[in-house]
Chain A
Amino acid sequence: MNSREITTQISKTADFLNLKKWDYGASFSNDYSVQVDKGEAKQLKASQKQILTIRVWNQSNLVGITTTSDISESGIKKALKQANIASDFGNKNESTEFSPLAKEPIKAREVKKRNPVGIKKLLTLLREAEVKLIESHESIKSVPYNGLSESFFERVYANSEGAFRSYSKSQAALYLYARAEEKNKKPRSSGSVKIGYGADDIDIESCIKEASNKTISHLNYSSIKTDKYLICFSPESFLTIINAFSSMFNARSIIDGVSLSNKNSIGEKLSTEALNIYDDGLHEKNISSTPFDGEGTPTKRLCLINRGRIENFIHSESTARIFKTTPTGHAGLGSKVSVSPDWIVVEKSEENFDLKTSIDHSTYEGEFVYIEELNAIHAGVRASQGSFSLPFDGWLYKNGKKISIESATVAGDIKYLLKNIVNIESSQEVTTNGISPHIWVDELSITGDA
């Protein structure tokens, strides 16, 4: 069944079961991926997936839900029946409705959909990339983590009031994670990830170069003394930390009591006035862009922090109603509708305010720690408490020299971090998770060797 036929089938079956109000979200995908090991194909993978999530409202307007991969007539009937049973346990304390924007026109955008290049070409491209990466430096002995994939998918939202949205797209991803070894030294590892609309759009050469340069730059390493340091966050690492604490802007988290913010936090000063943060799922550089969320609300650019102050929260239909505002296009369809950011864009405001603009990661000659990448986010972030303690890859810059840090963690508090931003560099960089310039923060704790 295609998405129109599924909608018709659900409508027909819902009528038969006397279910008046329903909506659904569905996704259909074909994915292909390859991994190699020293020139040989290791695992080649293909998958066809379909997933359907149906919500129904019972006569008391309580919502029930069911998810299934069985999109047959019998599967749809079973899903509707189960959702109806589940609606008896619907949340009586907080109602859910259709998004008032589910039928709002969405401005047509260019669909960047590529044709599959096929497994054989993926394999050839990855083999060549592996060889080039190993040959790029004598210390790089292997590329233990690698993969090239392409996905083709369609996403649909429809409801019993006639809303119907559908879009399809393609996406490809390449990751290369090299391992370097030198005599009497510990192995060092680093890598790079690139994504594109199709395999032919991925800049493989820059992925190889980046993985090689990063790995080599960690060959000479040293432990770091446990202390407080001036920190320069790479664009990628700063976006990681903002995403990890995005519950500060998340209305769902606020209602659930797991956010550092509260309903009255709009206008609260979090940071230097020079900091602006947006969520911009439709940004032209966002390859994973989606035109609507799980409730059918159009995706849009939203200012989260304006001149250092909280400007907006992200919402689903129900949180928006509670906050007396409109949904923002950040909902995920579920029994309890989740809310999450799309693509964070960090930028410096037009004025410098109190920033120390002379500090730049490419020219600064004083001592500082450069954090390239933060790891183990799931283990080291306490979003509800605001604290973090995270291992990282990075370098210590001292006396005009840079040396890789052997093994260390950075620890602190998100509000402290935001308040202690001392510079936001002018130049932004596009990453797979968003856009940000380099961000400088004073006095964060680093644990290395005691």
Chain B
Amino acid sequence: MLSSQIKSNQIVFGNCNKDLLEEIIFYGIGLGADFVEIFIENTDNSSVLAEEDFITSVSPSFGRGAGIRIFKGKKDGFVSTNDLTKHGLMRSISQAIEMLDITDNKREVFNGLNKHRDYSLSKKKWINEVPSIHEISEKLLVSTKSLKKNNKIITRKGSYSRNLQEIIIASSDGTYVSDIRLHQTVGLNVIASDAQYRSSGSRRFGSSGMPNEFRIWDHEKAANDVFESSMNMLYADYVDAGQMPVVLANKFGGVIFHEACGHLLETTQIERGTTPFENKLNEKIAHESVTAIDEGISEGSFGSLSVDDEGMEPEKSILIKDGILKKFISDRAGELRTGHKRTGSGRRQNYSFAAASRMRNTYIAKGEHSKEDLINSISEGLYCKSMGGGSVGATGQFNFAVEEGYLIKNGKLTSPVKGATLIGEAKEVMPKISMCGNDLELAPGFCGSISGSVNVTVGQPHIKVDSITVGGR
């Protein structure tokens, strides 16, 4: 008998677990659940940190667990456990049923799991193809050495992390899928100092499903970029606060759309009643120059998926077309509670979170202008070359930090400025994005929200916002 045919009383990755999964789902449906979903994961991660010219941390980790979600009507119970035995999974089902206090006699029909959709077949070799810790360490040390370009650089760091996640998803609508996901990310950071002046620079790069990506990563180019950024900002003055036109650079500049608008287009926000766009479908919510997309299919992008965490293949969702709101980002609970069709956007950090509607690769589509067109159109304003993190508040206000900024005077970039924060509200800012460049690029990031931290890309071409509040000194 082949190992894959051995019947097991626990989930074993690499084996056929169909009988066991069906038994568990039958058990939940038999107890009165409308819907049962089982998400199981096995992880193998490692991270390496280089500081100055030494490896100072190597942190491998591995683990496994299951998240079981049960719906009754529109409410759901979620139980997570590290116990992958039949007994442990059944106990979790019972606990979820008990939590939902299911007492009616109505029973849904479960016709068994569909044919296994195995997205992992071509990916099983990845674990042997990713760089070894030795290889990673060597390249990180070369990278941090590259950052040492003058004696003003007082701190140099390079970090790498690799997450390999093997998943099985089975649910009472017949969904039965497996997949393997690989995410790699590498970051470089410096702190520069000269007398009382201090600045920092950082860049992060990331990919999904590309075992060789770290090997071909151009560390010299990245190091030059980080170094130049820190030097440009070292003697920068604080920006004067005020309302002004702003040009946001491409790549991570897209964080403005992610924070300002993207989150408000997730159905979780409709469920809470916290998005101003809830009843705006097919209405104009942005300047006609804005078309915005959320998708999970760009090859190698940090937010791409073969299948989402609810077993649905991700679609390319055009959220805004020429300024008109066309779609929301939806997951299973979102569809159930708001009526918006699922978009393959049910995502979670790991088995201990229930999936929620989350962004994947989210970007503003390219326009027709050059970067110079945008800058030339401004007599006094701010060019945000590199963005830091940001957040969106409960009533839609957003803010994010400008890591590297330059004043624009009479259509030209002038002196560097620090300490700027962009502040606004999505519904007020979106109509003010009046020009989009022709240089769309994506950048990786991590997005923290209701279902934990997930890999995403943000992106845009250079864009011009006619007026926004810039916080400063």
Hey, which bits of chain A sit against chain B, CB under 8 A? 37, 40-51, 64-71, 78-79, 82-83, 85-86, 89-94, 119-120, 141-142, 144-145, 177, 179, 186-189, 226, 256-258, 334-336, 375-376, 378-380, 382, 384-387, 389-391, 407-409, 411-412, 445, 447-450
Query: In the bound complex, how far is the Cα of B274 from the Cα of A91, in angstroms?
Result: 48
In the complex, what's the smallest C-beta–C-beta distance from A225 to chain B, in angstroms? 11
- Asked if B473 CB lies within 8 Å of chain A CBs, one says yes
Q: Is the CB of B273 within 8 A of A144?
A: yes
Q: Is the CB of B242 within 8 A of A43?
A: no
The answer, among A37, A70, A187, A447, for a CB contact under 8 Å with B469, is A447
13 A-B pairs within 8 Å (CB atoms) are namely A41-B100, A46-B77, A46-B78, A46-B96, A78-B62, A89-B55, A177-B394, A257-B154, A384-B191, A384-B200, A391-B399, A447-B241, A450-B243
Q: Contacts A42-B75, A120-B101, A186-B395: A47 and B473 contacting too (C-beta < 8 A)? A: no
For residue A334, which residues in chain B have a CB less than 8 angstroms away from its CB?
Answer: 57, 59
The answer, among B56, B74, B420, for a CB contact under 8 Å with A336, is B56
The segment from B19-27, B113-121, B363-371, B385-393 that touches chain A is B385-393
The answer, among A70, A382, A389, for a CB contact under 8 Å with B472, is A389
What interface size band does chain B fall in?
Answer: 35 or more
In the complex, what's the smallest C-beta–C-beta distance from A93 to chain B, in angstroms? 5
The answer, among A66, A69, A179, for a CB contact under 8 Å with B82, is A69
For residue B401, which residues in chain A have a CB less than 8 angstroms away from its CB?
Answer: 379-380, 389
The answer, among B56, B83, B134, B472, for a CB contact under 8 Å with A48, is B83
Q: Is the CB of A378 within 8 A of B241?
A: no
The answer, among B133, B352, B354, for a CB contact under 8 Å with A49, is B352
Task: Please give me the residue from chain A that is nearest to B467 by CB atom.
Answer: A450
Q: Is the CB of B77 within 8 A of A447?
A: no
Task: Please give me the residue from chain A that is nearest to B136 by CB atom.
Answer: A89
Q: Is the CB of A70 within 8 A of B473?
A: no
Q: 4 tightest CB-CB pairs across the interface, nearest first?
A: A69-B63, A409-B471, A447-B241, A144-B272
In the complex, what's the smallest C-beta–C-beta distance from B78 to chain A, in angstroms? 5
Q: Is the CB of A335 within 8 A of B59?
A: yes
Query: In the bound complex, how far is the Cα of B421 from the Cα of A389, in angstroms?
Result: 7
For residue B425, which residues in chain A have a CB less than 8 angstroms away from its CB?
Answer: 186, 407
In the complex, what's the smallest C-beta–C-beta distance from B419 to chain A, in angstroms? 6
For residue A65, which residues in chain B have a CB less than 8 angstroms away from its CB?
Answer: 58-60
In the complex, what's the smallest C-beta–C-beta distance from A333 to chain B, in angstroms? 11
For residue B49, which residues in chain A have a CB less than 8 angstroms away from its CB?
Answer: 335-336
**How many contacts A-B (CB < 8 Å)?**
222
Q: Is the CB of B243 within 8 A of A47?
A: no
The answer, among B54, B96, B101, B424, for a CB contact under 8 Å with A92, is B54
Q: Is the CB of B99 within 8 A of A46?
A: yes
Q: Contacts A41-B75, A376-B391: A407 and B469 contacting too (C-beta < 8 A)? A: yes
The answer, among A68, A86, A378, A448, for a CB contact under 8 Å with B63, is A68
Task: Please give me the residue from chain B that is nearest to A78 by CB atom.
Answer: B62
Task: Please give me the residue from chain A that is nearest to B402 by CB atom.
Answer: A389
Q: Is the CB of A258 within 8 A of B155?
A: yes
Query: In the bound complex, how far is the Cα of B398 from the Cα of A407, in angstroms?
Result: 10
Q: Is the CB of B96 within 8 A of A380?
A: no
Task: Please give me the residue from chain A that is nearest to B387 by CB atom.
Answer: A379
Q: Is the CB of B61 within 8 A of A45?
A: no
Q: Is the CB of B393 within 8 A of A50?
A: no
Q: Is the CB of B471 within 8 A of A411?
A: yes
Apart from A51-B63, A450-B242, 19 more pairs, CB < 8 Å: A42-B271, A44-B99, A45-B77, A69-B64, A94-B56, A144-B274, A179-B394, A186-B425, A187-B395, A256-B155, A258-B155, A376-B391, A382-B200, A389-B420, A389-B421, A390-B421, A391-B423, A408-B423, A411-B241
Query: In the bound complex, how far is the Cα of B81 from the Cα of A70, in angstroms?
Result: 11
In the complex, what's the smallest C-beta–C-beta distance from A391 to chain B, in angstroms? 5
Task: Please give me the residue from chain A that is nearest to B43 by CB atom.
Answer: A69
Q: Is the CB of B470 within 8 A of A447?
A: yes
In the complex, what's the smallest C-beta–C-beta distance from B233 to chain A, in angstroms? 10
For residue A380, which residues in chain B have a CB less than 8 angstroms away from its CB?
Answer: 399, 401, 421
Query: In the bound complex, how far is the Cα of B59 from the Cα of A50, in angstroms?
Result: 18
- Asked if B86 CB lies within 8 Å of chain A CBs, one says no
Query: In the bound complex, how far is the Cα of B283 from the Cα of A438, in angstroms?
Result: 47
Q: Contacts A449-B243, A450-B242: A47 and B81 contacting too (C-beta < 8 A)? A: yes
Query: In the bound complex, how far is the Cα of B471 from the Cα of A411, in angstroms?
Result: 8
Query: In the bound complex, how far is the Cα of B56 from the Cα of A189, in angstroms?
Result: 44
Query: In the bound complex, how far is the Cα of B54 from the Cα of A386, in angstroms?
Result: 27
The answer, among B58, B397, B419, for a CB contact under 8 Å with A411, is B419
Q: Is the CB of A226 within 8 A of B55?
A: no
For residue A42, which residues in chain B have a CB less than 8 angstroms away from its CB?
Answer: 75-76, 271
Q: Is the CB of B60 within 8 A of A46?
A: no
Query: In the bound complex, how far is the Cα of B62 from the Cα of A71, in angstroms?
Result: 11
In the complex, what's the smallest C-beta–C-beta distance from A410 to chain B, in angstroms? 8
Q: Is the CB of A144 within 8 A of B394?
A: yes
In the complex, what's the smallest C-beta–C-beta distance from A337 to chain B, in angstroms? 9
Q: Is the CB of A409 within 8 A of B421?
A: yes
Query: In the bound complex, how far is the Cα of B100 from the Cα of A334, in angstroms?
Result: 39
Q: Is the CB of B472 within 8 A of A47?
A: no
The answer, among A51, A92, A336, A447, for a CB contact under 8 Å with B423, is A447
- Asked if B213 CB lies within 8 Å of chain A CBs, one says no
Query: In the bound complex, how far is the Cα of B397 from the Cα of A145, in angstroms?
Result: 16
For residue A71, which residues in chain B have a CB less than 8 angstroms away from its CB?
Answer: 82
Q: Is the CB of B59 within 8 A of A378?
A: no
The answer, among A89, A257, A382, A447, for a CB contact under 8 Å with B471, is A447
The answer, among A86, A93, A145, A386, for a CB contact under 8 Å with B394, is A145
Query: In the bound complex, how far is the Cα of B82 from the Cα of A48, in angstroms?
Result: 7
Q: Is the CB of A70 within 8 A of B82?
A: yes
- Asked if B383 CB lies within 8 Å of chain A CBs, one says no
For residue B411, which residues in chain A have a CB less than 8 angstroms away from its CB?
Answer: none
- Asked if B361 CB lies within 8 Å of chain A CBs, one says no
Q: Is the CB of B75 within 8 A of A407?
A: no
In the complex, what's the smallest C-beta–C-beta distance from A80 to chain B, in angstroms? 12
The answer, among A37, A86, A188, A411, for a CB contact under 8 Å with B133, is A86
Residue from the set A46, A51, A375 with the largest chain B CB neighbour count within 10 Å: A46
For residue B154, which residues in chain A have a CB less than 8 angstroms away from its CB?
Answer: 257
Binary flags per residue of B232-273, CB closer than 8 Å to A gives 1, else 0: 000000100111000000000000000000000000000111
Q: Is the CB of A379 within 8 A of B390?
A: yes
Query: In the bound complex, how far is the Cα of B242 from the Cα of A450, in angstroms?
Result: 5
Query: In the bound complex, how far is the Cα of B272 from the Cα of A408, in angstroms?
Result: 25
- Asked if B79 CB lies within 8 Å of chain A CBs, one says yes
For residue A407, which residues in chain B have a CB less than 8 angstroms away from its CB?
Answer: 397, 423-425, 469
For residue B203, which residues in chain A have a CB less than 8 angstroms away from its CB?
Answer: none
Q: Contacts A67-B59, A144-B272: A189 and B394 contacting too (C-beta < 8 A)? A: yes
Query: In the bound complex, how far is the Cα of B330 from the Cα of A396, in angstroms?
Result: 40
Query: In the bound complex, how far is the Cα of B401 from the Cα of A89, in angstroms?
Result: 36
Task: Please give me the residue from chain A that is nearest to B274 by CB atom.
Answer: A144
In the complex, what's the smallest C-beta–C-beta distance from A317 to chain B, in angstroms? 15
Binary flags per residue of B35-57, CB closer than 8 Å to A gives 1, else 0: 00000000000001101001111
Q: Contacts A47-B352, A144-B272, A450-B242: A70 and B63 contacting too (C-beta < 8 A)? A: yes
The answer, among B51, B82, B399, B424, for a CB contact under 8 Å with A50, is B82
In the complex, what's the smallest C-beta–C-beta distance from B43 to chain A, in angstroms? 9
In the complex, what's the smallest C-beta–C-beta distance from B457 to chain A, in angstroms? 18
For residue B62, which residues in chain A have a CB less than 8 angstroms away from its CB?
Answer: 66, 68, 70, 78-79, 82
Task: Please give me the residue from chain B that is nearest to A122 by CB atom.
Answer: B99
For residue B80, which residues in chain A have a CB less than 8 angstroms away from its CB?
Answer: 45-49
Task: Please give me the residue from chain A that is nearest to B244 by CB atom.
Answer: A450
Query: In the bound complex, how far is the Cα of B274 from the Cα of A388, in angstroms?
Result: 28
Q: Is the CB of A384 within 8 A of B58?
A: no
- Asked if B95 CB lies within 8 Å of chain A CBs, one says yes
